[in-house]
Chain A
């Protein structure tokens, strides 16, 4: 089975990687420019999934199961991260009745 067989895998690998990079970039920009913590968490999810896409693409390309395994690991971590992140958002919201992350800047030097 030739992984590079166009009949089997006719979208070139560069496209997958480019899509992954674009999604990752969108996620990173979202984290940096948005001030709503929920949006930021969603942007982080975007970055996770961009990474997953890259992992699976490479796993498919090299015929190596490690990429699939890592993708599942990332999904698990993302779930945990979402749980903790939402918990933090709820606590912060309770304390300051505010959902602007720039207002929560008391830990500055």
Chain B
């Protein structure tokens, strides 16, 4: 057997198991005893995730340790078959993800105690959330591809549970199913990559695989592995063309959108590519392709962000667009920049979603920004939270998004992709435009919640923005409101605002980690994992400062356009009129999200359904069942025939014997005895 190479310093790290398994304990306890625990379920779930976060902090030194050429902590658990060794790997990359999963996860758990108060499945919600945290940690902490795939599948399952949490709503069930099916497409891609790796390397470990990059794969095989892995990334991280589930996933409760569909799960693709950095470093074609897909997703998502009216869908498309940035960065080889953008995005996007959640909670589940307006005075705290988030996502200097977005764009340019850089810069402008549009429409001008929806151009008010009003099951009709605004009274207001308040300084501050270019704390931290990739021969035609100025200029143009269109006094006064005309005149290509759903429907769903009908209504019942039935019929017919010989009459049997003997006699008489 070949020598087993592992990343990380071998040892026993008991605290690491605490980090990993505490959320699982929470999930099991809350699942089993949810009905008994009732409102205790939330605090228990939050406390376990919080403890896991503290344990992860205490393991910081394990993850950051460097011994010779390896860094991080590695625990061997068991070997299933030769080459199939399972263990945990807790290095600097895993540390960043673990801290975000448990840290931001803890804040969102606390927030959910307020947001989900009064929901009749309160404990079940936290069981799912804890299960998600456990699954995501499995994904991140695994030291091999199979463990990763297990986590990969489990987060998909958790996402399915949580999108469809309000399962009385048919739209939520459909969205959950869609997310699950598309994610399975990605799982199959990863499984395929694992099969190729095992056939070439004979092992599933990251260490063995990366050690074999130079000699065990031809460049074509390496490209195939990268593409197969990237199919998984594209499905999980909502990259074109597998992104269509993410906007629909907003059917889940808002904390779910914040944790799973903004901060953590959807960035699993970024994690996988950063984890497999040696593979991407060795395959230029894969870098090219993934970079292009990332850039397309970035600009495509931003373009759709302009056209949305549902506050969560605006944020969903912006998530898709920002993940496009991350994928573009890690795709072209700017790994530390991509991971930095993940980190900053986790904070500011969670903050945006939680801020939006406060609005939705206080407006009795209104999600349509056309029916908001002027909320600055009513909800100053939500305004502050979303305002900081908007400034951060737009990349205003000083806020975290500025540093990470600049790093992503500049390093993309440095790697020799001027076109991707141009798309990224344009995306930054569009992002600024639609985020400020969100800000102006939601928080400025008059309150439009009491305006007749048709005056705002909303054609189906019952569909436009009133989720959470699913028909109640009769037996619980008045025991618990499904999810109502007046139930904020169940939990103190601070339980929702405190997590957001904690996120605000982070979404301003974490970007400063990257301050200082090559010698910044961030670059130094990741230097052992991602050796600075050699810039392309052409290098960058402009310096980092120049690049930053260009981005700022484009962002300023985007903000100015948003201001002129939505922010001026005149625009605010006539906002009802102007939102109606904008709704009516929305270009259909944007309103239909570039027809991706229609195309997938026509190319895949419809043929599959037709094939299903062919197999279900013709091939199976007529050909296969018909064949089986024919065999049965003929057996039956022969049975009837032979039965008729069994007369029960002794004399008949005697006759048969005589006839049989006569046959023998005739036979021998005819051919002789053979002599």
Q: Do A and B bind each other?
A: yes
Residues of A at the B interface (CB closer than 8 Å) are 28, 31-33, 35, 40, 101-102, 104-109
Please, what's the 1-or-0 string for B587-624, where 1 marks a CB less than 8 Å from any CB in chain A?
00000000000000000000000000000000000000
Output the least CB separation between A18 and chain B (Å). 15
Please, what's the 1-or-0 string for B639-675, where 1 marks a CB less than 8 Å from any CB in chain A?
0001111111111001100100000000000000000
- Can you list 7 A-B contacts with CB-CB less than 8 angstroms, sorted by A residue number? A31-B654, A32-B654, A32-B655, A102-B649, A102-B651, A104-B648, A106-B648
State in angstroms the CA–CA spacing of A1 and B413 once bound together: 124
Task: Verify A28–B658 contact, CB threshold 8 A.
Answer: yes
Q: What chain A residues lie within 8 Å of B647 (beta carbons)?
A: 105, 108-109
State in angstroms the CA–CA spacing of A109 and B646 once bound together: 5
Output the least CB separation between B508 and chain A (Å). 92
Task: Verify A31–B651 contact, CB threshold 8 A.
Answer: yes
The 6 closest A-B pairs by CB, nearest first: A109-B646, A108-B648, A105-B648, A109-B643, A107-B648, A31-B654
CB closest chain-A residue, reference B647 = A108
Q: What chain A residues lie within 8 Å of B649 (beta carbons)?
A: 101-102, 105, 108
Count B-side interface residues using an 8 Å CB cutoff. 13
Task: Verify B658–A32 contact, CB threshold 8 A.
Answer: yes
State in angstroms the CA–CA spacing of A40 and B649 once bound together: 13
Output the least CB separation between B563 and chain A (Å). 96
Neighbour of B650 across the interface among A28, A33, A104, A109, CB < 8 A: A104
Do A35 and B651 form a contact, CB below 8 Å, given A28-B658, A109-B642, A109-B643? Answer: yes
Output the least CB separation between A54 and chain B (Å). 13
State in angstroms the CA–CA spacing of A104 and B651 once bound together: 11
State in angstroms the CA–CA spacing of A32 and B645 once bound together: 16
Task: Verify B645–A109 contact, CB threshold 8 A.
Answer: yes
Task: Verify B646–A101 contact, CB threshold 8 A.
Answer: no
Q: What chain A residues lie within 8 Å of B646 (beta carbons)?
A: 107-109
CB closest chain-B residue, reference A29 = B658
Q: What chain B residues lie within 8 Å of A106 (beta carbons)?
A: 648
Q: What chain A residues lie within 8 Å of B648 (beta carbons)?
A: 104-109
State in angstroms the CA–CA spacing of A11 and B443 once bound together: 134
Neighbour of A109 across the interface among B644, B651, B654, B658, CB < 8 A: B644
Q: What chain B residues lie within 8 Å of A33 (beta carbons)?
A: 651
State in angstroms the CA–CA spacing of A18 and B582 once bound together: 117
State in angstroms the CA–CA spacing of A33 and B649 once bound together: 12
Q: What chain A residues lie within 8 Å of B642 (beta carbons)?
A: 109
Output the least CB separation between A98 and chain B (Å). 13
Q: What chain B residues lie within 8 Å of A40 (beta carbons)?
A: 650-651
Q: What chain A residues lie within 8 Å of B655 (beta carbons)?
A: 32
State in angstroms the CA–CA spacing of A107 and B649 once bound together: 8
Output the least CB separation between A78 and chain B (Å). 17
Output the least CB separation between A89 and chain B (Å). 11
Output the least CB separation between A102 and chain B (Å). 6
Q: What chain B residues lie within 8 Å of A109 (beta carbons)?
A: 642-648
Q: What chain B residues lie within 8 Å of A32 (beta carbons)?
A: 651, 654-655, 658
CB closest chain-A residue, reference B645 = A109
State in angstroms the CA–CA spacing of A31 and B656 once bound together: 12
State in angstroms the CA–CA spacing of A28 and B655 once bound together: 8
Output the least CB separation between B641 and chain A (Å). 10
State in angstroms the CA–CA spacing of A106 and B642 once bound together: 17
Task: Verify A101–B651 contact, CB threshold 8 A.
Answer: yes
State in angstroms the CA–CA spacing of A104 and B655 once bound together: 17
Q: What chain A residues lie within 8 Å of B658 (beta carbons)?
A: 28, 32
Task: Verify B645–A101 contact, CB threshold 8 A.
Answer: no
State in angstroms the CA–CA spacing of A106 and B649 once bound together: 9
State in angstroms the CA–CA spacing of A35 and B649 once bound together: 10
Between B643, B647, B650, the greatest number of chain A beta carbons within 10 A of the residue's beta carbon is seen for B650
Output the least CB separation between A20 and chain B (Å). 14
Output the least CB separation between A31 and chain B (Å). 5
Output the least CB separation between A14 and chain B (Å). 15
Output the least CB separation between B550 and chain A (Å). 95
CB closest chain-B residue, reference A33 = B651
Output the least CB separation between B42 and chain A (Å). 73
State in angstroms the CA–CA spacing of A98 and B122 once bound together: 85
CB closest chain-B residue, reference A107 = B648
State in angstroms the CA–CA spacing of A40 and B652 once bound together: 13
Output the least CB separation between B549 and chain A (Å). 99
